[in-house]
Amino acid sequence: MQTSSSQVKVLGILGGMGPLASADFYLRVTELTAQLMQAQNDAAHLPIIVWSDPRFADRNAAIFGTGPSPRDEMIAACRKLVLAGAQYIAIACNTAHAWWPDLVQALPGVPVLHIVDATLAALQREAPQAKRVGLLATVGTLKAGIYVQRALRSNTRIDWLMPDSVAQEALVMKGIRAVKAADLALGTACLEQAAQELIEQGAEALIAACTEVPIALKHSLFSIPLIDSTAALARECVAHGFGLSSPLAKAQFCTE
């Protein structure tokens, strides 16, 4: 792409995990560009390359040691994105961030935004008082400690609440799989119930910590803030692409 003639950066999206979540993420980046940058025409948007490969090895199985790792496939896909012109990378899947350190190491000089950093910044903006935070995430994201460890690293003090193992499988994972199968009614029912259980356990904010979750809950109303990891990462992509944020959540973006 003709990056030399423009100050904006080319975004590479590593997607396909799942496909609907990737399409939703790309849509959100575009909508947020229109909203935050007042883009009035095509040329005011970011150049974007999406690599949507639904055949990456299953992330949850790999994290639990019951299936092959998608690591090498993800690195190869990111290298293709960079070869095609991408100047920074976003991964449209929370669970895939278990391999974020591998991608960073394999792509020297290419920023790979971290969805948890973006989401924790959104939590700070949207629910600054919340200490007890519920996680709606895949079993792999929970097992790998993607949110917990990243929050510790950034000294964000949070008491994490997670569904018990029965609710995690029968509500959260069932709901995520329903979204992947495009059964949004079932996905919404399962995930709303999981959210409600976390609220009853004392959550002061919830994180939709899987990119399938916001698709199911986009029309849902809760008594506490729901922080949307898809929207948070999309916002950071817009900020980074237009050179507005370094490292995260610049003042321009806090006033909307």
Cβ proximity to a second copy: between 33 and 141 the closer is 33
Joined tokens for residue 113: 């935004």
Tell the smallest beta-carbon distance from residue 145 to a second copy (Å): 23
Cβ proximity to a second copy: between 27 and 254 the closer is 27
Task: Pick one of 71, 125, 143, 177: the residue that binds a second copy (CB under 8 A).
Answer: 177
Per CB under 8 A, the segment of 29-37, 132-140, 144-152, 233-241 that binds a second copy is: 29-37
| Selected catalytic residue, list 78, 190, 210, 237 | 210
DSSP tag of 253: G
Burial 197-227 (b: 16+ CB within 10 A, else e): bbbeeebbbbbbbbbbbbbbbeeeeeebbbb
Q: Does 52 engage in binding with a second copy (CB under 8 A)?
A: yes
Looking up tokens 């460890």 gives 149
Kindly give, in sequence order, each residue whose CB lies less than 8 Å from that of residue 98, ignoring residues fewer than 6 positions away.
59, 62, 63, 140, 141, 144, 146
Tell the smallest beta-carbon distance from residue 83 to a second copy (Å): 8
Q: Look up 210 and say whether it is catalytic.
A: yes
Per CB under 8 A, the segment of 12-20, 98-106, 112-120, 124-132 that binds a second copy is: 12-20
Q: Does 6 engage in binding with a second copy (CB under 8 A)?
A: yes
Task: Pick one of 61, 71, 75, 85: the residue that binds a second copy (CB under 8 A).
Answer: 85
Q: Look up 254 and say whether it is catalytic.
A: no
Q: 55: buried, middle or exposed (CB in 10 Å: 19+, 13-18, 0-12)? A: exposed
Q: Does 17 engage in binding with a second copy (CB under 8 A)?
A: yes
The backbone torsions φ and ψ at residue 43, rounded to the nearest 5 degrees and listed phi first, read: -65, -15
Q: Does 218 engage in binding with a second copy (CB under 8 A)?
A: no
* CA–CA gap between residue 85 and residue 79 (Å, rounded): 10
Whether the CB-CB separation of 174 and 180 falls below 8 Å is answered with: no
Task: Pick one of 125, 143, 180, 218: the residue that binds a second copy (CB under 8 A).
Answer: 180
Burial 19-37 (b: 16+ CB within 10 A, else e): eebbbbbbebbbebbeebb
Task: Pick one of 9, 16, 91, 135: the residue that binds a second copy (CB under 8 A).
Answer: 16
Tell the smallest beta-carbon distance from residue 66 to a second copy (Å): 16
Question: CB atoms < 10 A from the CB of 229, how many?
Answer: 30
* Amino acid in the structure at residue 84: A
Where on the chain is the footprint of a second copy (CB under 8 A)? 1-2, 5-6, 16-20, 22-24, 26-27, 29-31, 33-35, 39-56, 73, 77, 80, 83-85, 177, 180-182
Catalytic amino acids? Answer: 93, 210
